[in-house]
Structure formats: structure tokens, C-alpha cells
Amino acid sequence: MTTETYPTTSLSLAEQEQIARRAKFQYNLRRASIYALAIAIAIWILLPIWLVAVMAFSTPADVRGFPKQIVPVPLSTDTMEFFLNQDGILRAARNSVVVAITTLVLSTIIAVPAGYAIARYVFPGRDAIRLGILSVRAFPIVVLAVPLAVTFIELDMYDKVYSLALMHTALTLPTTILVVASVFAGVPYELEEAARIFGCTPTQAFIRVVMPLALPGIAAAAILTFVLSWNEVFAAILLTISNRTLPAQILYTLDKSGDPFKFAGAFFMLLPAMIFIFFIRRYLFSMWGINK
């Protein structure tokens, strides 16, 4: 046991130290660049949201002025009030909430059994069904626009809130089913088997063991469905005239309105997504295996 260099290396002590120092520098550099990249991405996403929020809470005069502010001084709810008092906005917001909640409920009711079947069972036509679910997304809704409108008119379902909810359910189901399936796939099958050994029927095992473990993930999927419906604009424009949802209403009046209306509308549309992401963050993290 000596403190000298190993006989196999021909490098001097100073040279070895230099190599070690260089390796450390490179390691630090790599870490620094990863952080820099992460910060850049965060700014890329957060900055527009922040600017929209600043505008929404500035006075209408400030919104029209130039240069724009970075912080809302003076803080004012005038712009938001102006937006909310516009004709039809509150009604549209109510429609949006009704459609989104109906979509959430229908979508979850269908997606839970469907997702469970896809996650757990190997049945004939399983891959075909999977593909079929995805293919709903493969058709651009523009292609379906005319036949859809015609069908809805013929069935006397045109311009109804519930008919838009049905449409949104069809649109969100692929995403919801696949998310729910991945949630169920994350619950070890052995747990279900254990439940069945210790006295459960398959249904009881599902209710007592699988559901409690899958619930957070299913809730996250449901909220995602809500946000998807809330943001959806094309089908909303297509299928409603008097019963417009919020994005349809905003889009409809966009070219006739000024900057304050646009910023306030943008902020209002952002709200549910931000609130819900804040609440489901924990579940999303656990789904992705990140520890806070």
C-alpha cells in the first residue's frame, strides 16, 4: 500500500491531476448546459402565459399602449370585467362548463372498462380495437365536417349543448382510453390475483384493490378530458350557432374586438388548464415516476 502512482501508468502525478480536473470541468459543463436548456424551455412556455396574464390585469389603456408592461402596474380588473360583460360571454362560459363536464362523465364511464380491457386481457381483435380507437384521431375533423353537420341536423340534434358533448366524447375518448389503460397497466396484476385468492370475486377485486390504486390516475385522465373539451373549438363552431361554447364565441367575435378583449379572453381560456394542472401535478408526477 503506497501513495505513489500505480506502476502501470506512465503519467506523472501532475498530469493525472490535470486529467481529473478536466473531467470534472466537463462534468460541470454538462450539468450546466442541461440546466440552461431546461430553463430555456420553461421560459419558452411560461413567458407568453405571463404576458397574457399581465395584459389581462392591466387597464384597457395600458393594453392598447406601447411598449407593453412586464408587470401589471397599475393592477386593474377593468379589462377582465370588460370581457366578461360582453354579450354572450357568460352564457358561452356556462355552455362550455356544461359540455366539458358532460364530456368528462361520459368519457370516463366508457374509458374505464375499455381501458381496463385493453390493459388486462388478451382477447381476439384487441389490436384491431386499439387501432380503431386511434383511427378516430387519424381522420381530420375537417373531412367529417359536412357529413357530421348533416347527420346532426337530420337527427334534430343540431345546435344543442348535449350533442356537442357527444361529439367531444367521441373526440376525447381515444386519448382518455389510452391514458386510463396505461393507468390500469400500472397496477400489478398480482395484486388482483392476491385479492382473488383471499376471497374476492373478480369484480370485488377490481373494486377493492384495482380502483383505489387507479383512482388518482383516472382522475387525472378525467381532468385532461375536461381541458380537451374546454379548448375544443372546431366541432363547437361546426355544431352550434346559438349555443356556442366559450372558444367558439371568442373566435366568432375575435375580428370585431380590440386587444383588451383578446388578452382577457386568452387568459380566461387558460385558467382551467392551469388550475387543473396545478391540482393533478402530483398525480402526473407519480404516473411518470418523478418524486417531488
Partner 1 sequence: MAQIVVQNAVKRFGKFTAIDDVSLTINDQEFMVLLGPSGCGKTTLLRAIAGLGMLDTGKVVIGSKDVTYLNPKDRNISMVFQNYAIFPHMTVFDNIAFGLKMRKSPKSVIYERVNEAAKLLHIENLLDRYPGQMSGGQRQRVAVARAIAYDTQVLLMDEPLSNLDALLRLEMRAELKALLTKLNVTTIYVTHDQIEALSMGDRIAVMRQGKILQCDTPTRVYDLPADHFVGSFIGNPPMNFLMGRVERDSNRIQVRIGEFQLNPPDEMQDILRVYDGKDIFVGIRAENMEPLAQPTPDSLQVRVDVVEPLGAHNLLTIHIGSDVLKVSTHPDFPAKMGGDLWIRFPIQKIRWMDADSGKALTPNLEKVMA
Position 219 contacts partner 1 (CB under 8 A): no
Interface residue with partner 1, options 52, 164, 173, 195 (CB under 8 A) = 195
Straight-line distance from the first to the last Cα atom of the chain, in angstroms, rounded to the nearest whole number = 45
Nearer to partner 1, 1 or 197 (CB): 197
- Based on the number of CB atoms within 10 Å of its own CB, is 183 exposed (0-12), middle (13-18) or buried (19 or more)? buried
How many chain residues bind partner 1 (CB under 8 A)?
A: 16
Nearer to partner 1, 256 or 292 (CB): 292
Under 8 Å between Cβ of 179 and 114: no
Nearer to partner 1, 56 or 187 (CB): 187
Measured from the CB of residue 216, what is the shortest distance to partner 1 in angstroms? 10
Of 181, 184, 180, nearest to 223 by C-alpha is 180
Measured from the CB of residue 188, what is the shortest distance to partner 1 in angstroms? 7
SS3 state of residue 243: coil
Nearer to partner 1, 72 or 186 (CB): 186
Measured from the CB of residue 1, what is the shortest distance to partner 1 in angstroms? 25
Nearer to partner 1, 182 or 257 (CB): 182
Position 199 contacts partner 1 (CB under 8 A): yes
**Chain centroid to CA 47:** 19
| Helices H / strands E in the chain, number of each | 13, 0
One-letter amino acid at 142 equals: V
Position 185 contacts partner 1 (CB under 8 A): no
Which residues, 6+ apart, have CB-to-CB distance to 57 below 8 Å?
Answer: 72, 75, 76, 77, 79, 80
Position 222 contacts partner 1 (CB under 8 A): no
Measured from the CB of residue 52, what is the shortest distance to partner 1 in angstroms? 40
Position 212 contacts partner 1 (CB under 8 A): yes
Nearer to partner 1, 167 or 210 (CB): 210
- Distance, in Å, from the CA atom of 176 to the CA atom of 191, rounded to the nearest integer, reads 24
Binding site for partner 1 (CB under 8 A): 188, 190-191, 193-201, 204, 209, 212-213
